[in-house]
């Protein structure tokens, strides 16, 4: 396939911007809009027969697993363990016949993830693949493979593959909930309706771009940047930090908001921007009080929230990013956009090679 940048300066920008249409396309393979239900493109894994679900991957795909842990636990009440593949494969973890394991990989060829998959299969577990490349090794060697339908991703830093991985993992979590009887049809309908709104909300979130590129002029001068989130926004904070490190070479750390006081708050002064992903969710007030702890120490808070959230908590923040209101369950997909844009524009400001960052490869097929 010949892929070009279109009118964009970098593949990464193009891939960020095509998310509304790519996510809608991915969703069209996983949802039945008439029934407002999930309709997987292939035979469903038997989640009711599982005692435990393992989610294993590397890099950005690992953070997709981390978000999905919250979904599978909440929606399907199944115990979930997440692991980076390079740790999992060498730890000799006990695997049983009632363990399911989902391996998430854009390329489907990452050496550590493939080795982890083979380990699970050989130990009698049930490997399931979530991949972008249908003919890949990880897809072929799994019991079932689900395509994320993101289309070719050229930028080394993953963007649209991450959000499409989340779409597929969301559909699998809802399927698991239905099979295990932890959600009723009305709840599935509610979750599916909210999920179907995500592409439009992602399009809205892209509207913050001009503002992000202004903020990036300041962020580019920082030596360290902290990202905070709670619940499923915690893994998004980790992903935001990874994205920024990968392409801007600024040191960044993602932290669970509630863990801030146990260490990283010592780093806070007026030279450390602290980016808070805070959708209006049941934990919003707690996130805000963590943010206030940062501001009380002179920290420069960048608050990303919706209109209600900003009205309630923007006082004293260094900057705000206005996000669309969205269902808190699926908010990590929508808030992935500001995470990507912040990294992208900070990198552009610094003049780094955005699509081909130093020392990184798109697909790591050797150990």
Q: 226-244: buried (b, 16+ CB within 10 Å) or exposed (e) per residue?
A: bbbbbbbbbbbbbbbbbbb
CA-nearest of 252, 225, 245, 183 to 319 is: 225
Question: How many angstroms separate the Cα of 239 from the Cα of each of 201, 244, 323?
Answer: 19, 9, 18
8 A C-beta contact, residue 322 and residue 208:
yes
Nearer to ligand G6P by C-beta: 144 or 158?
158
8-state DSSP, 319 = E
The catalytic residue among 5, 36, 350, 362 is 362
CA-nearest of 201, 120, 160 to 12 is: 160
Q: How far is the CB of 98 from ligand G6P (least distance, A)?
A: 26
Nearer to ligand G6P by C-beta: 116 or 233?
116
Q: How far is the CB of 103 from ligand G6P (least distance, A)?
A: 9
Q: Do you know the residue count of the chain? A: 367
Nearer to ligand G6P by C-beta: 152 or 263?
152
Q: Which residue is nearest to ligand G6P (CB)?
A: 59
Q: How far is the CB of 59 from ligand G6P (least distance, A)?
A: 3
8 A C-beta contact, residue 329 and residue 72:
no
Nearer to ligand G6P by C-beta: 148 or 276?
148
Residues at the interface with ligand G6P (CB under 6 A): 58-61, 105-107, 110, 113, 156-158, 360, 362-364
Q: What is the CA radius of gyration of the chain?
A: 20
Largest distance between two CA atoms of the chain: 55
Q: How far is the CB of 105 from ligand G6P (least distance, A)?
A: 3
Nearer to ligand G6P by C-beta: 161 or 183?
161
Helix axes of 331-350 and 198-205: crossing angle, nearest 10 degrees: 30
Q: How far is the CB of 108 from ligand G6P (least distance, A)?
A: 7
SS3 state of residue 258: helix
Q: How far is the CB of 104 from ligand G6P (least distance, A)?
A: 7
Nearer to ligand G6P by C-beta: 145 or 265?
145
In this structure, what token pair is assigned to residue 121? Answer: 């299969």
Instruction: Tell me whether residue 362 is one of the annotated catalytic residues.
Output: yes
CA-nearest of 312, 292, 309 to 301 is: 292
Q: 143-175: buried (b, 16+ CB within 10 Å) or exposed (e) per residue?
A: ebbbbbbbbebbbbbbbbbbbbbbbbbbbbbbb
Active site residue ranges? 362
């Amino acid at each position: 396939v010949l892929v070009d940048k279109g009118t964009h300066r970098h593949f990464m920008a193009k891939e960020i911007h095509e998310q509304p249409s790519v996510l809608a396309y991915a969703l069209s393979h996983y949802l039945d809009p008439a029934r407002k239900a999930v309709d997987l493109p292939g035979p469903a894994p038997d989640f009711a027969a599982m005692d435990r679900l393992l989610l294993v991957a590397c890099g950005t795909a690992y953070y997709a697993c981390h978000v999905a842990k919250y979904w599978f636990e909440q929606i399907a009440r199944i115990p979930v363990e997440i692991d980076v593949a390079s740790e999992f494969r060498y730890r000799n973890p006990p695997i049983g016949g009632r363990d399911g394991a989902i391996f998430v990989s854009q390329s489907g060829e990452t050496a550590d993830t493939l080795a982890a998959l083979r380990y699970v299969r050989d130990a009698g577990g049930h490997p399931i693949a979530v991949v972008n490349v249908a003919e890949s090794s990880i897809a072929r060697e799994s019991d079932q493979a689900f395509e994320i339908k993101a289309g070719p991703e050229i930028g080394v830093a993953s963007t649209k593959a991450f959000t499409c991985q989340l779409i597929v993992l969301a559909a699998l979590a809802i399927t698991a909930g239905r099979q295990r009887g932890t959600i009723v049809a009305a709840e599935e309908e509610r979750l599916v309706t909210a999920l179907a709104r995500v592409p439009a909300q992602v399009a809205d979130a892209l509207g913050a771009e001009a503002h992000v590129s202004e903020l990036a002029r300041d962020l580019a001068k920082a030596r360290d940047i902290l990202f905070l989130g709670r619940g499923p926004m915690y893994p998004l904070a980790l992903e935001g930090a990874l994205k920024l490190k990968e392409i801007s070479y600024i040191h960044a750390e993602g932290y669970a908001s509630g863990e801030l006081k146990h260490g990283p708050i010592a780093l806070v002064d007026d030279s450390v921007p602290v980016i808070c992903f805070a959708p209006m969710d049941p934990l919003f007030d707690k996130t805000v009080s963590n943010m206030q702890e940062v501001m009380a120490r002179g920290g420069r808070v960048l608050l990303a929230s919706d209109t209600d959230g900003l009205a309630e908590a923007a006082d004293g923040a260094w900057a705000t990013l206005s996000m669309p209101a969205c269902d808190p369950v699926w908010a990590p997909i929508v808030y992935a956009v500001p995470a990507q844009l912040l990294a992208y524009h900070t990198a552009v400001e610094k003049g780094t090679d955005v699509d081909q960052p130093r020392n990184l490869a798109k697909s790591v097929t050797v150990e």
